[in-house]
Amino acid sequence: MPVLVRLILAIQFISSLPLAAADVLENLPGLKNPTPLDKFILESMKEAKVPGLAALTLKEGKILWAGYYGWANIEEKIPVTQDTLFQLASISKTVTACMIMQQVEKGELDLDVDINTYLPFKVRNPKHADQPITLRQLLCHTSGIRDNWTVLEDQWVKNGDYKEPLAKSLPAYLIEGGKFFSAKKSFYNWAPGTKNQYCNVAVALAAHVAEVKLKTPFETLCTQGLFKPLNMEGAGFLMSSVDLKKVAMPYGYRKKTGNFKALGHHGYIDYPAGTLRASAPHLSRFLMMFMGGGKLGEVRVLKEETVEAMKNIQYPKLDKKQGIGWYYTRVGANRMIGHDGGDPGVATQMFCQPEEGAGIIILMNGEPKKGSLEKALAQRLAEQLK
């Protein structure tokens, strides 16, 4: 089916004086016949206070529909287009997981051996010092490593990448005596593999295991193994590796003034878990690869059996939704696999039904109140795929 791409420039969207949806639509240049979906999205963006949005649907290895709305940068009046890069937040974890599974395929890494086999420093939960932690546990949130948000938020860098490599920041967080270490706040009380608790630092540690074993920076492994073969050039985890002029500015809405505040781009310690910047078309190729059993067109980046393993529930007694880096959820009446993401000024969704060859992607540079916009839009897009 042909690709339908509607470029919508919401010129008056950011006015501090709220405009009715009809007024906004009337002043959109080049949009003479907005569809019901266009109207729904723009009205929802205005209600949710989201300045920019990119969305698309996938069916049978192709983009079925795509829409680009509002502003990537309000101050510079840069509209959202198909070339706009959005920070993906925790969707980044699916890319990190796929890169690691490439190394598992090659025999470089083993999901079930003690990560200390690979690391030059020793990571153990001080409450369970005799229990090894594995890559599978790191990627499935059962390692017992804990996100200490006091540290993580304090270490966020505005408009720059985190100043230290994983080789320095992770030992400081995980090893006794490190400047960020806390036996209570860096680890949970339970032993590895006995409970499930979402953890960003654990995924960053998994990424570091790969770069230590391969003697290659994490970003390079992703570029060589995924971005180049999948034609995702321009995507990257580090601000230093992307064109910041193309990256949508994250915004926060200030209710008192009725205005948006630019929050700036940011980097953090656990960057492999959340800082990937990519466009909606970039992400569509990655998702189509996953739905295609590791293959996009004539390019194969993962074995089919590897993708099937990632889709399998890893610890059914602990979490009936968690695969390797990917998890299952319901979008309306549809059971889908993928990931969502959220950071200050960022909200993202990427889910699919591989057996149907159907998928949806939603990227925003604002945070909808109570998640209502992304939930409603995801359901509507999923319905279109039937």
Residue type, 58: L
pLDDT at 258: 81
Using alpha carbons, list the distances in angstroms from residue 191 to 4, 119, 325: 50, 20, 20
pLDDT at 228: 98
pLDDT at 13: 36
Residue pLDDT, tens place only, 49-94? 999 999 999 999 999 999 999 999 988 889 999 999 999 999 999 9
Residue 169, Cα to own-chain centre: how many angstroms? 21
pTM greater than 0.85 (yes/no)? yes
Domain boundaries defined on the chain: 4-86+220-384, 94-216
Q: Which CATH architecture has domain 94-216?
A: 3-Layer(aba) Sandwich (3.40)
Q: What is the SS3 string spanning 269-330? A: CCHHHCCCEECHHHHHHHHHHHHCCCEECCEECCCHHHHHHHHCCCCCCCCCCECCCCEEEE
Residues of the chain scoring pLDDT < 50: 1-31
| Cβ–Cβ < 8 Å for 243, 83 | no
pLDDT at 384: 87
Q: Which CATH architecture has domain 4-86+220-384?
A: 3-Layer(aba) Sandwich (3.40)
Domains 4-86+220-384 and 94-216 share a fold: yes
